[in-house]
Amino acid sequence: AAGIGVTLLLWRFCPSLYSRNHGENVDFFQALRLMVPYGMPLYLSTLILSLLTQYRGIILAQFVSNMGIGNYTIAMNFSVLIIIFSQPIAISLFPAFSKLSIKKDRDILEKMFKLSVKYTSLLVIPASLALCVLSNEVVYALYGSQYRLAPSYLALYVLYFLCAGLGMFVIASFFNGQGDTKATFKMDLVNVSLSVPLTLIFTFLYGVPGLMASLVTSQFVSTTYGLFLARKKYALTVDWASSFRILVASLCSALLVYVLLALIPIPLFKLVFGGFLYVISFLGFAPLLRAISKEDVANLDELLKGLVLIYPIARSILNLEKRILSLHIAI
């Protein structure tokens, strides 16, 4: 695949590469001089994060039993349910940020940064806490009750995704879109520098829960550091009030589901009823607690119009949010 890609690149664009940004021809080596300083920090980030994953596996094998590793693997499998929401957003934000310049389009870029964090949080944080409160039911439904430790591991791991409210899935895309890949590398370097000692110490002391704690801690610190860089270099920050309200609305829904699930004896009914109740309660709490506004409803409606399969469902949900907002204002 790499060979075919390089062949197509040379065939189509060499001996000269056309730069749309500058309106002039750029030869191959000039293009490399532009691309390497941009791409090398991202390459190094990917490399060290890949090595970090292998390092965690080695530490687990040293200090955790086979049973613990099996339950850990089951818990990690469910992270795909969150990544389905988060990863496409992070990928799609890069070209959006790359089309704007912080010098020329500061107001637009600042608003886009805050809204990106908010709308990512609206998906990821509720989904994370739903998976947390329903961890027992989800694991037992798919894998059976023999994996007794997996639900608690899953509940701990999803705390990792609460960093979405700090911009975990947005900051790197912003830096890369502005050409500041060194800032992304610094964030990942902070993550790795903390993860290496914390993974060893916490896993040795507490096993899999210690590993989960090291994951959450290192990600929280690296995301906070990324926010510090964004504020220092570009005077950008997240909408703290919105992130807090989304978290509170999600926690209220999770608490309601947790209390009511104790009244249902059948595990499968718990999963179905609990999931339905969580969605309905969050859709009620979000507008009541101002986690979503009428402007957000209009923005999301405009953004989702192009998604033919999703939009009919999304439009019904957004109309419901609009009615609740209008009722709240009237009261």
Question: How far is it, in rounded angstroms, from Cα 251 to Cα 37?
Answer: 43
At 17 the three-state DSSP class reads strand
Helix segments in the chain, DSSP class H: 2-13, 28-63, 66-77, 80-98, 106-133, 135-143, 150-157, 171-177, 181-206, 208-234, 240-261, 267-288, 294-304, 311-330
Residue of 197, 198, 231 whose CA lies nearest to 213: 198
User: Do residues 261 and 201 lie in contact, with contact meaning Cβ atoms separated by under 8 Å?
Assistant: no
At 305 the three-state DSSP class reads coil
pLDDT at 329: 56
Look at residue 308 and tell me whether its pLDDT is greater than 80: no
Phi first, then psi, for residue 126 (nearest 5°) are -60, -40
Look at residue 108 and tell me whether its pLDDT is greater than 80: yes
| Ranges 183-197, 258-272, 308-322: which has the least confidence | 258-272
At 220 the three-state DSSP class reads helix
In sequence order, what are the residues at sequence separation of 6 or more whose Cβ sits closer than 8 angstroms to the Cβ of residue 31?
17, 19
pLDDT at 26: 60
**pLDDT, tens digit, 9 for 90 and up, residues 18-74:** 444 445 556 667 777 778 888 899 899 989 999 999 999 999 999 999 999 999 999
| Ranges 94-103, 185-194, 245-254: which has the least confidence | 94-103
Question: What separation in angstroms does the CA of 23 have from each of 18, 19, 43, 73, 171?
Answer: 8, 6, 28, 51, 30
DSSP state of 27: E
Look at residue 97 and tell me whether its pLDDT is greater than 90: no
Mean pLDDT (whole number) for 150-171:
92
Kindly indicate the confidence band of residue 304, based on its pLDDT and cuts at 50, 70 and 90. Answer: confident
Look at residue 154 and tell me whether its pLDDT is greater than 50: yes
Number of alpha carbons in the 13 Å side-chain half-sphere of residue 19? 13
Kindly indicate the confidence band of residue 105, based on its pLDDT and cuts at 50, 70 and 90. Answer: confident
The number of residues making up the chain comes to: 331
**pLDDT, tens digit, 9 for 90 and up, residues 179-238:** 899 999 999 999 999 999 999 999 999 999 999 999 999 999 999 999 999 999 999 999
Look at residue 249 and tell me whether its pLDDT is greater than 70: yes
Kindly indicate the confidence band of residue 303, based on its pLDDT and cuts at 50, 70 and 90. Answer: confident
Question: How far is it, in rounded angstroms, from Cα 254 to Cα 269?
Answer: 17
Kindly indicate the confidence band of residue 245, based on its pLDDT and cuts at 50, 70 and 90. Answer: very high
pLDDT at 15: 56
Mean pLDDT (whole number) for 283-306:
88
Phi first, then psi, for residue 314 (nearest 5°) are -60, -40
